[in-house]
Structure 1
Amino acid sequence: MRLEDFDNDEDRVIQDRLKQKTWNEIRTNDSWAIFKIMAEFVNGYESMGRIGPCVSIFGSARTKPDSPNYLLAEKIAFKISKAGYGVITGGGPGIMEAANKGAHLGGGTSVGLNIELPFEQHFNPYIDKDKNLNFDYFFVRKVMLVKYSQGFVVMPGGFGTMDELFEAITLIQTKKVARFPIILVGTSFWSGLMDWIKTVLVEKECTVSANDLNLFKIVDTEDEVVEIINKFYKKYDLSPNF
């Protein structure tokens, strides 16, 4: 490929890096990166380990404050916090902001696990000051989102939301984490994906078991979300942050 075929800055950056770095340089940088990764894990564990029972809320960073999904996420987080649970989000704008705002207004724990991105992502103002963590690595951040959550609420979102959803489903399906509730909010949003999973993955390709569809529920209201979470806690004789 000729240089003139590269039509954006990202392509030029990739080409420059491939030319400039030797394999020895790459190996050295990778080795030193281990310490940065360890530091993120240690800081995350120490900070999150002091937080009580929480529910992670996932959703799009692009959702506007006047959107019905933003308002619904705020209501869900408010009722979750009133029921005694903390709320964990990715710490950014959109649905994450709405969830942290709802938890803040409800007087509950409001946690934000932010990630450095070239666009979209920035801390929202509704995160508790001592529960505002920043990450460079997506995989470390995802560990914190899952490890310290006793439930997952998934609002409409894009690739990042899908990644978080299927990460949670996979960990529960493979019994790497306990079977905490996974709640998808918005029947109209999720129905197309669910139809594809049933008709293609389950029935046609047999790559997913029909029983795995029981690992999550689809609802439309904040009351349904809180009911499912409360029912789970009651079943296992657990208690939230009261």
Structure 2
Amino acid sequence: MTPKLPRDNAQTAGQFLAATRGDAEAKQYGDSYHLAFADHEFLSRPEVRGIRFELELLKPDLALRERAIDHTIVVFGSARFICKADAELLLAKAPDDNARLKANTALDNSHHYESAREFGHLVASYNQTQSDAHNRLHICTGGGPGIMEAANRGAFESGDLTIGLNISLPREQNPNPYITPGLAFRFHYFALRKMHFVMRARAIVVYPGGFGSFDELFEVLTLIQTKKIEPLPVVLVDAQHWQTVVRFDLLVNQELIDVADMKIIHFVDTATQAWSVIRDWYELD
């Protein structure tokens, strides 16, 4: 028979609030009578920003710990790419030349979506061979559409846990539907979101993307170069694209970065190659 011993003598704040009538009393005594942690207006003040930082750090961390998620592979890339089937449908319905041009561009770029989806599947397939949850690697993205959706989708369709770190924006970005319920997190602060990207990251996989993808990529490269985090593989998918848009060789030749800085960067063309880099780096079975 299991002893029914309490884990903690204290009531939770939720239990306490449910058992009291603080709101009714606040109407009599004013907003100052609200409990501090239940006062949204107080928590939104600029002076309380530091506490909000701590909350955005702590909430996802506790949820990930409770799921025994210790290791992630973070996938960055454009939010604009769509899957091949959707691109073909877009082309079929294009009403004019301009729409057909855009649809053809979407179709040309759809191979990136399909590659990220395949990569998510490869990672999930590895996890199925690991009986210990603490040895698994889980796909983590920014939680939006495009490459983020594709990587989450590949893992989700294979029955794996997937993580999305969404950000609140003026134009609302909703989480994609391939994030495990309970593992979709919403951030206000980019800095705390970035911190969560790297806290558990064991590899960074980056597909072609815009300003946001560049920001995320170079943030990680800077953290590694300045030894704020341990070295980890940074995998750039579509070698020709990356070697064209960023002249890493020129930076080395002009001694703006060291040759050693390039040892963590891996240029690949396929999802299988990206996964092989990570497997070799960590000597995975």
Normalising by the smaller structure, the TM-score range is 0.7 to 0.9
* Displacement of 1:203: 2.1
**Are 1:58 and 2:76 an aligned pair?**
yes
Report what 1:137 is aligned to: 189
Aligned-residue RMSD, C-alpha: 1.7
TM-score (norm 1): 0.80
For the pair shown, the structure with the greater C-alpha radius of gyration is 2
1:190 aligns with 2:242: yes
Do residues 88 (structure 1) and 140 (structure 2) align? yes
8 A contact 1:57–1:152 mirrored in 2: yes
Whether the aligned pair in 2 keeps the contact of 1:48 and 1:148 (CA below 8 Å) is no
1:149 maps to amino acid: A
Deviations 1:49-75 (A, max 9, x none): 341322011111111222111111100
Q: SS in structure 2 opposite 1:55?
A: strand
Residue identity in the other structure for 1:227 = S
With 65-74 and 88-97 compared, the bigger mean Cα shift is at 65-74
Q: CA deviation at 1:222?
A: 1.3
Q: Distance in 2 between matches of 1:57 and 1:222?
A: 12
Give 1:214's match in structure 2, choosing from 248, 263, 274.
263
Match of 1:229 in 2: 278
The answer as to whether partners of 1:173 and 1:215 remain within 8 angstroms in 2 is no
CA deviation profile, 1:174-205 (whole Å, cap 9, x unmatched): 221111111000112111134x2322x2223x
After TM superposition, the runs of 4+ consecutive aligned structure 1 residues lying more than 6 A away are: none
Q: Which moved more, 1:28-37 or 1:52-61?
A: 28-37
Aligned residue pairs total 206
Distance 1:208 1:120, change over 3 A: farther
* Aligned sequence identity (%): 36
Query: Is 1:121 the equivalent of 2:173?
Result: yes
Amino acid at match of 2:53: I
Distance 1:29 1:134 in 2: 19
- Separation (CA, whole Å) in 1 of partners of 2:144 and 2:280: 29
Residue 29 of structure 1: CA displacement?
Answer: 4.4
TM-score by length of 2: 0.68
Distance in 1 (alpha carbons) for counterparts of 2:149 and 2:252: 35
Distance 1:122 1:145 in 2: 18
Q: Which residue of 2 aligns with 1:109?
A: 161
* Distance apart, 1:100 and its partner CA: 0.5
Structure 1 contact 93–120 (Cα < 8 Å) conserved? no
- Letter in structure 2 aligned against 1:202: V
Match of 1:47 in 2: 63
